[in-house]
Amino acid sequence: MVTIIKHCFLLIFLLNHPIQAQNETDINEIKSKVNTLFDAMRANDSMMVKGLFVDGATLSSIYMDKRTNRVVKRSSPVSKFVTAIGTPHDPIWDEKIWSYEVQQDGPMAYVWTEYTFYLDRQLSHCGVNVFEMINTDMGWQISAITDTRRTQNCISDPENDIHNLIDNWHNAAAIADESIFFGSMTDEGVYIGTDATERWTRDEMYALLTKYFERDSAWDFKTTERNVVLTGAGDIAYFDELLDTWMGVCRSSGVVQLINGQWKIAHYHLSIAVPNDQVDGYLKLIGKERK
């Protein structure tokens, strides 16, 4: 009954508004409203969502359960969703949108978006969102969202994949998992350590340092900051990071390569970050003088 009333209201609304051709100004505003919703989710800020939805807006999800039965889940009112956005939670809700297809007829529009949803950098699910939108006195507002959800055949975010690769690589050293650590490098991968003599190929590093992986932990480096830059072709990326280590703060940089659909570390360079105001002490330590 609620659904029937809602669609009757929508029909009356449309009949009382002149039908207009699709235009770029409307399309840009519609996309902006959709983007604001996902920005609010990432920012954990329910105030950003204010005014995005019409009163009585609904949310629906379609997915397959563990027995491969199709499930349609409806959640109404949307106020619960808005409250959830603003409720403190540790994992960041990061919904990546890969495409927009907008169909508009005057004051009504539908938006079809492909998406992948991450909790922090971990893949949760993916699918398609369909937004039903109405142009009201408050501008374009969302009257309903229906999404599909699956965990297979998801479009991936290469930057997230690279972060996960490096995070898992560092963690492999922390738990002494040599299979993951050395398997995360290319066959010709190079590791440059903090000592001037430490330049190894992957296989040389394995031969020299495999004894450290016989312990509970080989070494434990914690990333505190990282930057990733993708190349134009999308199969090579560069990164740099700050690390909290037993040596103090270290700076590293590296190159990763996409090989057969998997990112691998091709080059890694680690250095100790000596603060500028402590360089004189460092020079004295190694027997050098400032020139």
DSSP 27-80: HHHHHHHHHHHHHHHHHT-GGGGTTSEEEEEEEEEEEE-TT--EEEEEE--THH
For residue 269, give Cα distances in angstroms to 27, 190, 202, 256. 46, 8, 13, 12
Determine whether 205 is exposed, middle or buried from the number of CB atoms within 10 Å of its CB (0-12, 13-18, 19+): buried
Strands of 93-105's sheet in order across:
70-75, 53-64, 139-149, 122-136, 108-119, 93-105
Cα–Cα distance, 257 to 185 (Å, whole number): 9
Beta-carbon count within 10 A of 72 CB: 9
Q: Is the dihedral of CA 157, 159, 161, 163 positive or negative?
A: negative
Delimiting residues of CATH 3.10.450.50 domain(s) in the chain: 2-149, 158-278
Q: Please name the fold of domain 158-278.
A: Nuclear Transport Factor 2; Chain: A, (3.10.450)
Parallel, antiparallel, or unpaired for β 185-192 and 199-201? antiparallel
pLDDT in tens, the chain (291 residues): 444 444 444 444 444 544 455 688 999 999 999 999 999 999 999 999 989 999 989 999 998 887 777 777 876 678 889 999 999 988 999 999 999 999 999 999 999 999 999 998 889 999 999 999 999 999 999 999 999 999 999 998 999 999 999 999 999 999 999 999 999 999 999 999 999 999 999 999 999 999 999 999 999 999 999 999 999 888 999 999 999 999 999 999 999 999 998 999 999 999 999 999 999 888 888 888 887
Q: Which two tokens stand for residue 247?
A: 């040596």
Overall fold of domain 2-149: Nuclear Transport Factor 2; Chain: A, (3.10.450)
Contact 170, 221 (CB under 8 A): yes
* Those residues with Cβ within 8 angstroms of residue 9's Cβ, 6 or more apart along the chain or in another chain: none
**pLDDT in the model for residue 22:** 66
The predicted pLDDT at position 76 comes to 62
> How far is the C-alpha of 198 from the C-alpha of 111, rounded, in Å?
54
3-state secondary structure of 228: strand
* Residue of 267, 231, 263, 264 whose CA lies nearest to 252: 267
pLDDT for res 11: 46
Collapse the DSSP code of 219 into the 3-class scheme (helix H, G, I; strand E, B; otherwise coil) and give the result: coil
- Under DSSP, is residue 10 helix (H, G, I), strand (E, B) or coil? helix
User: Residue 187 in contact with residue 201, Cβ under 8 Å?
Assistant: no
> pLDDT at position 21, please?
55
